[in-house]
């Protein structure tokens, strides 16, 4: 039986009433949903959305704004101001630092600490934050080539987080939420080359990227779309966590991140280390060709800076490791061979945490010692990096002052 016009109108009214009533209910309840900060990017897989802003609830609630060039930083012109030294920092979520106010991130504190210091000829120092969550060393190399040189930096710092950065450089171990959308570098005929197959993904086609932009605009104006997006992101995170757990079980460990505390036994981790070191060499050569200075800053893992030495000792016994510094030591030795200065933060950060009986990670009683750096962690890390950049006897004295060591 053919439906009448009245029946069709009634059905249409019901179909419209449901989303409209849901939208009104969400607005009345003042429901909050984290903003869409990331967008697909054909050059690097994904990137931060220019001018995106909103309150994020990752570990702690924090208002975040992305600048017009697509980085979590204040605005910087491509033209470098006179009497200015620019330090560009490449990194992942630890550098992006959505958990603390912009002025409290280690990049901001580093700029404040270095400006006017004798080791930079008392010039103004700008520290540009190029951190993007989930980025691998390979993505950071692409970012360096595609964007960073536009700002004419004098110093390039790679903020290297071993528990994630090594594994994320190979497809089999990548812990990112969208590992398939990440670019990878592979060895072919002993040469490290980009596997650009990720650019064939439907999500990275120009038409789909355009549609994503339209969807983002609509999402900003409709709470119901924000709710759908939140559910989708939650699902992706759950799938990623399940994949990480499955990999850890395959490797016979409770946590895949613990694999950095010993020489790699699995072929996948051996490949990951080889690719990582090849990428760092490529960065060194790229920076040298541009006439800038290159350094690696090795960020500390959470267990390394636990203020309770008994907890660190307990983990070492569990892992059968004599210390938690294998990755740090290997990177230092690599840097010595390759002519790359390496700043390892773990010793000084651990000393500060133990001396002052404070957690450098976490924001409340529920997550102390977990998650990313809190404001204290960012401040102390910045002060240590500043002292190491200046080097010499003065730098060592500054580190002692920062950590409280006698």
Query: By C-alpha distance, which of 138, 89, 163 is closest to 372?
Result: 163
pLDDT tens for the chain, 406 residues long, are 566 767 566 666 666 666 666 656 656 766 677 889 999 999 999 999 999 999 998 899 999 999 999 999 999 999 999 999 999 999 999 999 999 999 999 999 999 999 988 888 889 999 999 999 999 999 999 999 999 999 999 999 999 999 999 999 999 888 777 888 999 999 999 899 999 999 999 999 999 999 988 888 877 767 666 666 667 766 766 776 666 666 666 666 667 788 899 999 889 999 999 999 999 999 999 999 999 999 999 999 999 999 999 999 999 999 899 999 999 999 999 999 999 999 999 999 999 999 999 999 999 888 888 999 999 999 999 999 999 998 743 444 443 444 554 3
Query: By C-alpha distance, which of 302, 304, 233 is closest to 38?
Result: 233
> Which residues partner with 298 through β-bridges?
160, 344
Quote the Cα angle for 110-114-116, to 5°.
150
Residue at 219 is within a domain: no
Taking CA atoms, 232 is separated from 36, 227, 228, 239, 399, in Å, by 12, 9, 6, 11, 45
Q: Which domain holds residue 206?
A: 41-214+252-403
Nearest 10 degrees: Cα torsion 370, 176, 321, 309: -10
Residue at 220 is within a domain: no
Q: What is the largest CA-CA distance in the chain?
A: 91
Residue at 4 is within a domain: no
pLDDT at 16: 60
How many Cα atoms within 13 Å fall on the side-chain side of residue 146? 16
Question: Model-level pTM?
Answer: 0.89
CATH number where 352 lies? 3.40.50.1110
Token look-up 């990275």 returns 204
Residue at 377 is within a domain: yes
Query: By C-alpha distance, which of 253, 237, 357 is closest to 305?
Result: 357
Tally the domains of the chain. Answer: 1
Residue at 186 is within a domain: yes
Residue at 225 is within a domain: no
Residue at 5 is within a domain: no
Q: Which helix (H) or strand (E) holds 159?
A: strand 155-160
Residue at 354 is within a domain: yes
Output the CA torsion sign for 301, 302, 306, 310.
negative
């Amino acid at each position: 039986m053919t439906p009448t016009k009245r029946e069709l109108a009634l059905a249409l009214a019901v179909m419209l009433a449901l989303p409209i009533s849901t939208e009104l209910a969400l607005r009345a309840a003042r429901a909050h949903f984290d903003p869409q900060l990331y967008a697909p990017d054909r050059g690097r897989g994904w990137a931060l959305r220019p001018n995106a802003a909103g309150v994020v609830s990752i570990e702690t609630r924090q208002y975040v704004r992305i600048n017009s060039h697509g980085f979590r930083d204040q605005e910087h012109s491509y033209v470098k101001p006179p009497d200015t030294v620019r330090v560009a920092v490449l990194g992942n979520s630890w550098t992006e630092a959505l958990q603390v106010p912009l002025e409290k991130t280690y990049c901001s504190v580093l700029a404040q600490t270095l400006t006017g210091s004798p080791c930079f000829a008392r010039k103004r120092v700008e520290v540009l934050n190029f951190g993007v969550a989930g980025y691998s060393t390979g993505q950071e190399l692409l970012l360096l080539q595609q964007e960073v040189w536009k700002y004419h930096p004098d110093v390039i710092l790679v903020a290297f987080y071993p528990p994630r950065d090594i594994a994320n450089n190979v497809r089999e171990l990548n812990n990112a939420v969208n590992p398939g959308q990440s670019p990878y570098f592979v060895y072919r005929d002993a040469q490290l080359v980009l596997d650009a197959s990720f650019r064939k993904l439907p999500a990275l086609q120009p038409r789909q990227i355009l549609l994503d932009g339209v969807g983002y605009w609509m999402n900003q104006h409709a709470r119901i779309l924000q709710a759908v997006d939140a559910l989708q992101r939650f699902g992706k995170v759950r799938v990623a966590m399940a994949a990480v757990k499955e990999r850890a079980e395959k490797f016979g460990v409770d946590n895949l991140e613990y694999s950095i505390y010993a020489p790699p036994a699995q072929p996948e981790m051996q490949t990951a280390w080889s690719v990582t070191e090849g990428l760092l060499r490529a960065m060194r050569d790229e920076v040298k060709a541009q006439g800038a200075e290159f350094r690696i800053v090795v960020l500390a893992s959470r267990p390394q800076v636990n203020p309770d030495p008994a907890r660190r000792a307990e983990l070492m016994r569990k892992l059968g490791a004599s210390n938690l510094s294998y990755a740090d030591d290997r990177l230092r030795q690599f840097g010595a061979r390759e002519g790359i200065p390496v700043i390892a933060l773990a010793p000084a950060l651990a000393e500060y945490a133990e001396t002052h009986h404070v957690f450098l990670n976490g924001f409340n009683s529920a997550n102390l010692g977990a998650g990313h750096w809190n404001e204290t962690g960012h401040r102390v890390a910045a002060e240590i990096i500043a002292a190491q950049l200046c080097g010499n006897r003065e730098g060592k004295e500054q580190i002692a002052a920062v950590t409280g060591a006698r």
